[in-house]
Amino acid sequence: MFTLIHKDKNSKARLGKITTQHGQFDTPAFMPVGTHATVKGLLFKDVREAGAQIILANAYHLFLRPGIEIIKKAGGLHKFMSWDNPILTDSGGYQVFSLALFRKMYDRGVEFQSHLDGLKHFLTPEDVIKIQETLGSDIIMPLDQCVQYPCTKEESRVAMERTVAWAKRSKDAHGEARGSLFGIVQGATYEDLRGDCAKRLVDMNFDGYSIGGVSVGESSNLIYNIMELVVGLLPLDKPRYAMGIGYPFDIVEAVERGVDMFDCVIPTRYGRNGTAFTSGGKITVRNATYTEDFKPLDPKCGCYVCQNFSRAYLRHLFNAKEMLGLVLLSLHNVYFFLDLMRQIRQAIKEDKFTQFKQMFLMDYNNQICA
Ligand SMILES: [Zn+2]
């Protein structure tokens, strides 16, 4: 499934390709998040045109609404949402941890109360695999147990042990069915727990490995250290996915450490809130400084928004509460992240990733656009 094409000579960054039943995607890859089977505010043709080769959808949300049976009747998730490219689905472990009104973990599975209607559900790791198989996901995540930050070592150990046991049951349940199955490395900020978890999952031989439970409130340096440690224990011939990462500066740091896949809601979430990511850092389009600023959001950006509209116009749309403002800013932000990945891949190809990272961070941190 994963082909390693080239390793950067001066860092651990790598260029690769992943093949799924719905086509291929290049790595390092960024997956726009389609929580409810939609990348908020955007047409899929625009998401595709912006350079998305794979998107992420959430099994937890789709299980609760509209329900798996409806998606099954529609012919699977790809048909239901009309996206004929790869889809990765999240197992719901993180959503149960962060959204459910109530949750209780047992060795057998998780009991939780829906954040939508308060109804109680019980899901086993086997159920979660079946749900994603029914959706027709190209890349499937097993149920795992997240912990909050900070968390005692004993709590982290219990969650990690359960995650490993559930990973084994998920692998047995999935067998040779369609869709690649990843293992999720947990263990909070404890290096020995992370290391133990990674080694035991590698012994089970998953199709790829995710680093879970990062970016839940810990410092950036702690996240980078954990990623470096975990990646060092993973096989070279399998993809590595940092779940929920992140900001542009986090992505370049993770790529440097050998991570191949990313997802994050921030391009669309920030877009809806009026914040644009640019090569010169973040800008808030509502600010009065842009009232008569007829430059594009990011003069270096090649997206439809930057080719056609000014900061002044976008500011006007947000002030007038016009929905086009949300759409255009989301589109630019998604393009910005996907274009960052294109530039990263090109830099790795030319063995210039380290220089690229330095230049990118210098411009980004200096707020040259603001
Ligand atoms: Zn743009």
- Mean pLDDT, consecutive 10-residue stretches, the chain (370 aa), reads 97 98 98 97 98 97 97 98 98 88 93 94 97 98 93 96 98 97 96 98 98 89 95 98 95 98 97 96 96 97 98 98 98 98 98 98 78
SS3 for the chain is CEEEEEECCCCCCEEEEEEECCEEEEECEEEEECCCCCCCCCCHHHHHHCCCCCEEEEHHHHHHCCCHHHHHHCCCHHHHHCCCCCEEEECCHHHHHHCCCEEEECCCCEEEECCCCCCEEEECHHHHHHHHHHHCCCEECCCCCCCCCCCCHHHHHHHHHHHHHHHHHHHHHHCCCCCEEEEEECCCCCHHHHHHHHHHHHHCCCCEEEECCCCCCCCHHHHHHHHHHHHHHCCCCCCEEECCCCCHHHHHHHHHCCCCEEEECHHHHHHHCCEEEECCEEEECCCHHHCCCCCCCCCCCCCHHHHHCCHHHHHHHHHCCCHHHHHHHHHHHHHHHHHHHHHHHHHHHCCCHHHHHHHHHHHHHCCCCC
Q: How far is the CA of 342 from the centre of ligand 1 (A)?
A: 14
**The two structure tokens encoding residue 111:** 């009991």
Q: How far is the CA of 92 from the centre of ligand 1 (A)?
A: 32
Report the catalytic residues.
90, 263
Contact 283, 370 (CB under 8 A): yes
Q: How far is the CA of 116 from the centre of ligand 1 (A)?
A: 35
Q: Which long-range contacts (CB under 8 A, 24 or more apart) does 60-67 make?
A: 60/90, 60/91, 60/92, 60/95, 60/96, 60/99, 61/35, 61/36, 61/95, 62/36, 62/37, 62/89, 62/135, 63/92, 63/121, 63/123, 63/131, 64/114, 64/116, 64/121, 65/36, 65/116
Among candidates 306, 165, 143, 151, which has minimal Cα distance to 222? 151
Q: How far is the CA of 314 from the centre of ligand 1 (A)?
A: 12
Q: How far is the CA of 331 from the centre of ligand 1 (A)?
A: 8
Cα 238 to Cα 212: distance, rounded to the nearest angstrom: 16
The predicted structure's pLDDT at residue 370: 46
**Burial (CB count <10 Å: 0-12, 13-18, 19+), residue 291:** exposed
Whole-number Cα distances in Å, 293 to 66, 247, 288, 326: 43, 26, 10, 19
Q: Is this structure's pTM higher than 0.95?
A: yes
Q: How far is the CA of 248 from the centre of ligand 1 (A)?
A: 15
Phi, psi of 156, deg, nearest 5: -65, -40
Q: How far is the CA of 305 from the centre of ligand 1 (A)?
A: 5
Q: How far is the CA of 335 from the centre of ligand 1 (A)?
A: 7
**In sequence order, which residues have a C-beta less than 8 Å from that of residue 348 and are 6 or more positions away?**
6, 7, 8, 13, 14, 15, 28, 255
Q: How far is the CA of 301 from the centre of ligand 1 (A)?
A: 5
Q: How far is the CA of 7 from the centre of ligand 1 (A)?
A: 29
The predicted structure's pLDDT at residue 366: 83
